[in-house]
Copies of this chain bind each other. A is one copy, B any other.
Amino acid sequence: MTQYIIQRLCIIGVGLIGGSLARALKKTGAVAEVIGVSRDVSHLERAKSLGVIDNYETEISKAVKGCDMVVLAVPLGAMQSVFEQIAPVISDDMVITDVGSAKASVVKSAQHAFKSIPANLVPGHPIAGTEKSGVEASFPELYENRRVIITPLETSSPLAISKVRNMWQACGAEVVETSIEHHDEVLAATSHLPHMLAYSLVDTLAKMDAKNEIFDFAAGGFRDFTRIASSDPDMWHDICISNKDALVKMIKIFSDDLQLLANAIECNDSVYLKETFSRAKKARDEFCEDKNINDSPE
């Protein structure tokens, strides 16, 4: 007899992230049944015909009934509404987790919806993705050797934590536990700030008089630097609003350092410039060594 980690899994938002989770758990035999939820029936039909989900519902309150695991894979801006629809039908043996890129805001949304945070809620964030989106792009290997950060609350049940952990490990991911605050600060630094810089740079250049020539003369370095400026604007709007405090703080720290660099350029401060560039190069080169990445600038 198979030992399932999850008997009945409800995935709310069956896109790349939710769909890949379902596929991975099915492939490894970790789940008995997967219920997908979306407002769009044709989308759910597609997910079912692809074998990503076994059944579907369009109403969250119906879908989650009898589920021992509920995963919210919706945009950050939709979390609270989903929690509100789960709240009336929540049960003691239902573990709830999410995949949002900012964690304090998810907990706040849960607080609003549930009044007191359920012991079975364990916020999570898989550090994975591809350039594509939608259920058609989902694949079972997405989480293999990738990190998943979980940020349990003090009130979280050890059993629920362990169940979420086991779910991601079954997908081949490495699960790391941090505090909510720490997650949001680290992600602000490593992901949210770079996205703001890329968006802001491309927008600044696009507004300039010499716009056409600027994009015309741009070479490989520019292309790589600005790749993330092609990200989904709505998703990044939600992330900005959701991780506002940590992100605004990081932009301030970055801006102050950039101002010091500009001052050094203006004053021909060769020592400052060479030291800064060398420190950055060393950190970047070490990052690549650690990750076994072989790339260099043009």
A interface residue numbers (CB < 8 A to B)? 127-132, 147, 149, 178, 182, 185-187, 189-191, 193-206, 208, 210, 213-219, 221-234, 236-237, 240-241, 244, 247-248, 251-255, 257-259, 261-262, 265-266, 268, 270, 273-274, 276-281, 283-288, 290-291, 293, 295-298
Contact = CB atoms under 8 A, between A and B. Distances in A.
Contacts of A210: 182, 185-186, 189
Given A241-B265, A298-B130, A229 B284 contact: yes
B228 A225 contact: yes
Given A129-B298, A200-B254, A283 B191 contact: no
A233 B199 contact: no
Given A187-B217, A223-B291, A229-B281, 12 more contacts: A189-B208, A190-B205, A190-B215, A198-B225, A199-B277, A224-B227, A230-B284, A230-B288, A230-B296, A233-B277, A236-B277, A255-B259
Contacts of A178: 213
Contact of A244 (B222, B244, B265): B265
Contact of A225 (B194, B248, B268): B194
B204 A257 contact: yes
A189 B203 contact: no
B258 A251 contact: yes
A131 to B, nearest CB: 4
A7 B127 CA distance: 58
Contacts of A194: 201, 221-222, 225-226
A196 B268 contact: no
B248 A203 contact: no
A203 B274 contact: no
B223 A225 contact: no
A276 B202 CA distance: 10
A46 B236 CA distance: 52
Contacts of A234: 274
A281 B233 contact: yes
Contact of A274 (B149, B233, B284): B233
A262 B229 CA distance: 16
A280 B189 contact: no
